[in-house]
Amino acid sequence: MTPKVEIYTWRTCPFCIRAKALLKQKGVNFTEYAIDGNETARDQMAKRANGRRSLPQIFINDRHVGGCDDIHELDARGKLDPLLES
């Protein structure tokens, strides 16, 4: 099954670029929501992300996995690939 991966970003955010690079490196297709300056979209993202307003915010199969540091930590601990396979 192909995972449903969504990422909320600002186009020039270095953390967003880094998180997307990791997903691309793993060959993952993802839906990007570039919400640059759109506070309504950011509020909607925060509702999904348990109140977190920092960017990026990443969801795998509708499960919030966090931001850039979180996804890199999951990868370092060997826990990202199983999420991407489910």
**Could you read off the pLDDT of 19-57 as tens digits, one per residue?**
999 999 999 999 999 999 999 999 999 999 999 999 999
* The model scores a pTM over 0.85: yes
Structure tokens at 28: 């993952």
CATH of the domain at 33: 3.40.30.10
Q: Could you give the dihedral angle defined by the CA atoms of residues 70, 75, 78 and 79, in that order, rounded to the nearest 10 degrees?
A: 50
Per-residue pLDDT tens for 49-81?
Answer: 999 999 999 999 999 999 999 999 999 999 999
Q: Count of domains in the chain? A: 1
> Do 59 and 48 touch, CB atoms closer than 8 A?
yes
14: helix, coil or strand?
A: helix
Least Cα distance to 16 among 54, 42, 59 occurs for: 54
Domain that holds residue 76: 5-85
Least Cα distance to 68 among 14, 32, 24 occurs for: 14
